[in-house]
Amino acid sequence: MTNRPTTVTITGGGGQIGYALMFRIAAGDMLGPDVPVRLRLLEIPHGMRSAEGAALELQDCAFPLLREIEITDDPLTAFDGTHIAMLVGARPRSAGMERADLLAANAGIFGPQGAAIGAVADDDVRVVVVGNPANTNALIAAASAGPDVPVERFTALTRLDHNRAVGQLAETLQVGAGEIADVVIWGNHSATQFPDVSHAILPDGMPVLEALAERLGGRDAATAWLDDVFIPRVAKRGAEIIEVRGSSSVASAANAAIDHVRDEQLGTRRGMTSAAVVSHGEYGVPEGLVCSFPVISRGDGYEVVEGLDLDERARQRVAASVDELVAERDAVRALGVL
Ligand code: NAD
Ligand code: LMR
């Protein structure tokens, strides 16, 4: 029996992350080896030729799972009946642009896209926002979709931050990345985020904090490494990539978006992961903010893992990032968007 094709819409399909995403999705890396895919690429007129070129290359790969590629600059066509919407295209910050200008420019993109999703997407649509500022763009899209799409369907990507944290720990502990479970990213996809290892474990159940103390010469040395090296490195990794590469992360961002959707659709495998989801007040985060939390999925969307202990310092770090999300939400409200 052949599975029904899943329709996946990528906005910014002519851009860098779009290019890195579409070949892996068409190869089955996101939805599995048995699920045929219909790809829709949404672009603005300026990006259409680039998306068209990518589509030619997709055809030349002869992927058995790829059933159709459609390129459009019309959101209603792009999201018509879509099952998975990956909102990547965004207005980048340009020289001299204030944060409020950036939020306003992106509200002009994510508002209409959210409305189009509400109007024409599949009843069970899932949306992940990658384009920055990702959490607040997701908030805008969710608010614009209207009552037909539950807000839980809208998420923003912090899996890249999660994977970055795991990568740093794996290198320091000299273990495979797959051996580290239960790392958590809290807050905003920005330098205020809190990468938290206090619940993380290795396969034998050994807490990562203990393994770090063993490796680095005691608890105090481990705490100093976490505060002075690990947390700033992970939180500012996006800027580090921009400085070294000359442009922002692409393949790692696409990989994280694929991890995010795969786990949401097929279920998390070992322990918790991180995703920004709409708060229902968990851990005291104001309702309605799109905030990164510890999450699991049973194959039907992400749910927040509740009841984790946070010490006073951790609570302060989470609060600082949540304050930034509140400020972004208030700036968008002041524009009359929410
Ligand atoms: P890019 O400039 O290469 O591509 C963006 C594409 O979006 C362009 O082709 C542009 O024409 C298109 N676009 C702009 N407005 C659009 C609209 N209204 N509808 C459809 N398409 C539109 O950028 P990129 O490297 O692919 O990055 C995309 C976004 O992802 C940026 O905002 C970047 O900051 C963000 N990002 C997020 C993460 C994360 O972890 N959340 C990581 C890396 C990058
Ligand atoms: C990233 O995390 O790589 C992106 O969000 C780019 C950035 O500005 O940090």
Contact assessment for residue 189 and residue 276, using Cβ atoms and an 8 Å cutoff: yes
Closest C-alpha residue for ligand 2 atom 7: 238
Structure confidence at residue 2 (pLDDT): 65
Residue to probe by mutation, ligand 2, list 249, 255, 260, 274, most atoms within 8 Å of CB: 249
| Residue indicated by tokens 């899996």 | 159
Distance between CA atoms of 113 and 94, rounded to whole angstroms? 22
**Ligand 1, CB cutoff 6 Å, lining residues:** 11-12, 14-18, 42-44, 46-47, 88-90, 92, 109, 130-132, 134, 157, 160, 189, 248-250, 253
Residue 265 to residue 71: CA distance in whole angstroms: 24
Smallest CA-to-CA distance from 142 within 123, 121, 120, 127 is with: 127
- CA–CA distance, 185 with 161 (Å, rounded to integer): 7
187/290 Cα distance (integer angstroms):
8
DSSP state string for 286-336? PTT-EEEEEEEESSSSEEEPP-----HHHHHHHHHHHHHHHHHHHHHHHTT
189 catalytic residue (yes or no): yes
**Burial class, 233, CB count within 10 angstroms (exposed 0-12 / middle 13-18 / buried 19+):** middle
Within 10 angstroms of residue 287's Cβ, the number of other Cβ atoms is 9
Name all domains of the chain by residue range, CATH numbers in brackets: 6-156 (3.40.50.720), 159-331 (3.90.110.10)
Where would I find the beta strands (DSSP E) of the chain? Answer: 6-11, 37-42, 66-72, 84-87, 126-129, 154-156, 184-186, 194-196, 273-278, 290-297, 302-304
CA 86, 275, 159: angle at the middle one, nearest 5? 75
Per-residue pLDDT of the chain in tens (338 residues, 90 and over written 9) = 468 999 999 999 999 999 999 999 999 999 999 999 999 999 999 999 999 999 999 999 999 999 999 999 999 999 999 999 999 999 887 777 777 888 999 999 999 999 999 999 999 999 999 999 999 999 999 999 999 999 999 999 999 999 999 999 999 999 999 999 999 999 999 999 999 999 999 999 999 999 999 999 999 999 999 999 999 999 999 999 999 999 999 999 999 999 999 999 999 998 999 999 999 999 999 999 999 999 999 999 999 999 999 999 999 999 999 999 999 999 999 988 88
Strands 6-11 and 184-186: unpaired
Catalytic residue among 83, 162, 189, 199: 189
User: For position 138, what pLDDT does the model report?
Assistant: 98
Ligand 2 mean position, distance from CA 118 (Å): 28
Tell how far the Cα of 250 is from the centroid of ligand 1, in angstroms. Answer: 10
Task: Give the Cβ contact number of residue 314 at 10 Å.
Answer: 16
Give, using CA atoms, the residue closest to atom 2 of ligand 2: 238
**What distance in Å separates the CA atoms of residue 337 and residue 24, rounded to the nearest whole number?**
35
Distance CA 271, CA 276 (A): 17
The rounded Å distance from CA 217 to ligand 2 centre is: 33
Contacts of 28 (CB under 8 A, 6+ apart): 34, 35, 37, 63, 65
